[in-house]
Structure formats: C-alpha cells, structure tokens
Amino acid sequence: MDGEPAAPLRITAVMPRDESPAQQDPASGGRPRVVVVGAGFGGINAVKALAPAAADITLIDRTNHNLFQPLLYQVAAAALAPSDIAVPIRAIFSRRRNVTVLMGEVDAVDTTSRKVRVRDTGDVPYDFLIVATGSVYSWFGHDAWRAHSFALKTLDDADVLRLRVLGAFERAESRTDAEEIRALLTFVIVGGGPTGVELAGAIAELARSTLARDYRHIDPTSTRVVICEAGPRLLAALPDSLSAYSVKKLQALGVEVRLGESVEDVRPDGITASGQSIRAANVFWCAGTEATPAATWIGARTGRHGLIEVNADCSVPGHEGIFAIGDVTVMQDPDGRPFPALAAVAKQQGRYLGRAIRRRIEGRGDPGPFRYRDYGQLAVLGRSAAVADLGWLRLKGIPAWILWSAVHLVLLMGARNKVLVYVNWVWAWLTYGSGARLMTGIGGARKTEAGATGKAAVGDERAA
C-alpha cells in the first residue's frame, strides 16, 4: 500500500539559531508547547499519541482536512468523491482541548526564539517542533515539463485530473477529426509505482466499462492508456512474480505497458519516450518525489533528494527539540537500508514520536530507537485484482483484492467515510458504474491551467 502525507507547507525564510542551552530547554515556565507542521499520516498520528500529555499542541496545515492519499487516484478516476477520503482536521481533535488547529502557510521558522511564523496569523512559539511536511513530485530537473503534465498529490490535483479525464471524453464526443479524437482519448501515465499502476488501471476500467455505453459518436473502449516506466519492472518494490502479474493484468485491461522507456520530453501535445513520440492530450506524472525544502528552514543536514537526515529517535542532529518524520526524512534500518517512503512508515514514526515526547514531558525513560514493522505492500490492478506482499505471504488476484479492500477500509479515517466508500465499491462492483462523474469547478480549472500553461484548459471547447 502506498501513500504519502498531506500537501506540504512552504517556508520562505529561515532565521539563525541560538545554540545556548537556555534556548534549548523545553517548557521554560509553563506547559510544554509542541508545534506539528503538516497534517498527513505522520503529523496526525504524532498528535494523537501526544494529545493525552500535559502539553499545548498546535497542528498547522495549509488545508483544513486530513487526506487518505492511497485512494486519491479513485477520486481522479471518478470512482469516489473528494469528501469520501478526507476528514476535517478539527473534527479529529474536537474533544482534545489542548490541541489547536491552524490552517495557514508557514512563512519562516525562527530557531533563535523558537517560533514558527504563519502567514496572516503570526508567530507560534514551540518547545518541541515536529516537521511532517511530506514530499512533492519531482520532474528530475525538467521543470518545464510541469506545465504540460499533471501530478496527483492533493484533493485539488485529483479534481483537476478528474476534469481532464472526463473532459477528454466530452470534447472528443463533439470532434470530427479522427487524429484529434485519438489524442483526446490517449492518456499517458509516467511512472510505474503504485500510484501510476493504480491510476492506469482505474482509467482503463472507467473507459472500457463505465463509459462504454454513454456516448453516441465516440467509442470509449478504444481509449489508449499508456504507462511508461524507466525501470525494467512495474512495482519495483514487489517480488518479480507479482510485478509480472501486474503487467499481465493491466494488459488485460487494455493498458499499454512500456518498460525500460525513459521520458525524454513532455509537450502540450504528448511525450517522447525512448525516441518515440506519443501524441496525447493528457500526461499524468507519477514518476518520483523529492522532499519539501524543509531542511533549509532549520539548516538541517540532507541526504538524497533533499531529505532531512534524522537520528534513530527521529530527532534532527544538532537541533535540540526539533524532529522530522515521514517522507521529508531519510532514516535507515539497523542494516543501513533506508525506510521506504510509505504511509505505514510515517504513521509508525508519528505514533512513536508522539509517545516519545510524551514520555520526555512526563519525566519517564527513553523509549529507545524507532523500529519500523513492515506489514507488507499492496496495489490494486482494477476490478477484482490486486497484488499483496506481506513478507511471509504473497497473494494475487481476488484474494489480494479482498485484502486490499479490507485494509483500506480499516485505515480510512471516519465512520462516515468507511460506509460511503464501502457502498460505492459494492455498487461499482455490481453495476460496473462509477459514482462521482460530475465535472465541477471547470471555470476555476480553466483559469488555473491557462495561467500556468498559456493554453486553453479542461472545460474550454477550444482546447485540443
């Protein structure tokens, strides 16, 4: 199962840090003040574990919701509504009077006076600071490609992707030029990790099952879904047998799997991969991530992709009282291997760190280093098919799909969301239907995209 913390905050300035012990002493004068930046898997679980402590906790995020990112692709593919996989942060902690939630963007971290500066809000003092800001997609130095491709990281991203997918069929229905229709009904996904694989399967099923009978002038079953992976395998973290099965199942859905093909260019009309041009109206980027610029906020040492290097207790070396968890960090297991960038790691780190800080506040002993328990990885491949690697057990097909469904329902936050998602899944399975095929926010998407790319956007009938 893949997932990532919620959308990161941006820090635009960093202030010098005072190394004096007086400034490093937490809880000078009153209750300890803990500030958590980022309300993703890591940040939410850290606050939950820490909330029973006699401390004042402030959780800052630039959205007002916690997002269950492993199901974000289903929002993009019109299988679920955005509200099905998100929960208001305030509702999670409404009964915790010592937890304050702030919605805003961070402007600076003053490590001398120990304050986090939030735009339009002011300074938030801290004794303990937890950085849980997640990661962002990386275009590997080709920043110009951002304007012509669409990533999937937030609910806003999912809304845009849903508009792109559904809008492509709507525009194709009104066209007469065969080449233009083929381009509109071609979707290229760059990256063969869990997000790319699950998105490719979802779009293929939407076109070939859900939309097959809805149009009069186009044939949705002729939709071309292409997934380009630079490496030799899909789902490279899984065993070879499960990777091979994934290719087979995607191909059965009509997905064109291109392995060992690096993207060389991304244009408004498609991509070039390994010297071959593919004309497509929609390119979805799922090809890799990098850390937010969080390390520069506090002057931390970084590893590959700008990840903050942390100690075995999630503390940032040389920065007393500052910790980092989740996708923004790099931490190694006892054998020297870095932990994977998975939701499970962030959740476990959050729980561990929340308990560790609580023990410190209460004057109890050191809990010891963080230890990650790998419960396995899952990926769904469309209707009634998935792969699961639990270490001691490997599953594929319907058994893996049942396990995938059960695990995601258990991990999904909020009883309402669990019920809605379950009902949607059952309905979709029985009817081959999809329950969130509404195109809303078209005007806003048009303005956003036109401003970013200088071309017409999703809802514009002039768009190619």
**Residues tagged active-site:** 198
Residues 6+ apart with CB under 8 A from 22: 28
Q: Which amino acid is it at 340?
A: P
Q: Tokens 């998407």 sit at which residue? A: 445
CA–CA separation, 401 and 407 (whole Å): 10
CA–CA separation, 313 and 303 (whole Å): 17
E strands, 99-169, are 99-103, 106-110, 115-118, 122-125, 128-131, 135-137, 150-151
Residues 6+ apart with CB under 8 A from 308: 131, 291, 294, 295, 300, 301, 302, 316, 324, 328, 329, 330
CA–CA separation, 194 and 414 (whole Å): 24
What Rg value do the Cα atoms of the chain yield, rounded? Answer: 23
DSSP string, 202-241: HHHHIIIIISTTT-SSS-GGG-EEEEEESSSSSSTTS-HH
Residue 227's DSSP bridge partners are 189, 257
